[in-house]
Amino acid sequence: MRKWRGGAFCLRHSEGGQMKSTSFIRDKYIRNLPTRFCDGCGNGIILNCFARAVDNLKFDLKNLVCVSGIGCSAWIPSPHFNSDTLHVTHGRAIAYATGIKVFQPHLNVVVFTGDGDGAGIGGNHLIHAARRNIDLAVILVNNFTYGMTGGQVSPTTPYSYISETTIRGNPEHPFDLFELMKAAGSQYVARTTTFHSARLIKTIEKAMSIKGFSFVEVVSQCPTYFGRRNRLGDAVQMIHLYEQKAKSGELFLGEFEREKRPELTEELEKLRKEGGE
């Protein structure tokens, strides 16, 4: 397991090659539609990093499908990203993505989900997809709250933090999604933040390249609800807070890659051939 120190990664310091201009990335990958994201929301940074990762990988957009459930983070691909997208029911993105991948294994399938969508209502789908080792890349935006519905407590809200539904402080303890997804059997697990954008691009590239189940947790800012309720300042102050927490080690950032094990759709193909189909 590799631990990343909370260093000053930024887009200008991206490793390997020339950075493409923002207008090139926007024109090729982003649909020209109004955004619903609040000013300073981390979802815009994640969309930018995802588009750059796809560009660096030179993936054909015709073979890329993005699936998302319901939540502000689900808007990252749909309506914004210029590939096929499936915007489905709350907590069920992985179930739909599983269907796509099993039916059309040659497609690159990426799931965008939130801490509520992916670890709350969809938590069971998440851990079982990791156990099955199906070749999906899941990008979970952890803003520690249900942003879309007004800032309720989520399974990752830290202990004692304020939310719409925990006005005297959260009495519960949060999931450590990195450890959870490692234990569940993921082929690749990583955690980074919206501050570490160059690292985020590389992490998404790796998650999309690895055969098997990959999970990327992106710690992100929701200034509108989580930040405001907990007096964490504006978006910039929140990003720097997460940077500081990463530097001090309070917020672990790193990656884990398991020794290769059989991937589900390859196993299904073997069974099909053995059965003479």
Ligand X SMILES: Cc1ncc(C[n+]2csc(CCOP(=O)(O)OP(=O)(O)O)c2C)c(N)n1
Rg (alpha carbons) of the chain, rounded to whole number: 18
CB closer to ligand SF4, 221 vs 265: 221
Q: How far is the CB of 216 from ligand SF4 (least distance, A)?
A: 17
Contact partners, residue 107, CB within 8 Å, separation at least 6: 63, 64, 65, 100, 101
Q: Contact, 133 vs 262, CB < 8 A?
A: yes
The residue type of 28 is K
149-178 residues near ligand SF4, rule: CB under 6 A: none
Sign of CA dihedral 248, 250, 254, 256: positive
77 belongs to the binding site for ligand X (CB under 6 A): no
115 belongs to the binding site for Mg ion (CB under 5 A): yes
Torsion of CA 175, 177, 183, 188, to 10 degrees: 180
Helices 177-184 and 123-132 pack at an angle, to 10 degrees, of 40
d(CA 205, CA 174): 28
Question: What does 214 bind: ligand SF4, ligand X, Mg ion, none (CB cut-off 5 to 8 Å by kind)?
Answer: none
Q: How far is the CB of 14 from ligand SF4 (least distance, A)?
A: 24
What is the pattern of x (binds Mg ion, CB under 5 A) and - over residues 246-275?
------------------------------
246 belongs to the binding site for ligand SF4 (CB under 6 A): no
CB closer to ligand SF4, 72 vs 121: 72
225 belongs to the binding site for ligand SF4 (CB under 6 A): yes
The encoded tokens of residue 64 equal 């890329």
Stretch that binds Mg ion, among 51-59, 62-70, 102-110, 146-154 (CB under 5 A): 146-154
Stretch that binds ligand SF4, among 19-27, 35-43, 195-203, 205-213 (CB under 6 A): 35-43
70 belongs to the binding site for ligand SF4 (CB under 6 A): no
CB closer to ligand SF4, 72 vs 93: 72
Q: Contact, 74 vs 114, CB < 8 A?
A: yes
What separation, in Å, do the N-terminal and C-terminal C-alpha atoms of the chain show?
A: 41
Q: Which residue is nearest to Mg ion (CB)?
A: 114
Q: Contact, 122 vs 155, CB < 8 A?
A: no
Stretch that binds ligand SF4, among 37-45, 51-59, 197-205, 237-245 (CB under 6 A): 37-45
Q: How far is the CB of 226 from ligand X (least distance, A)?
A: 8
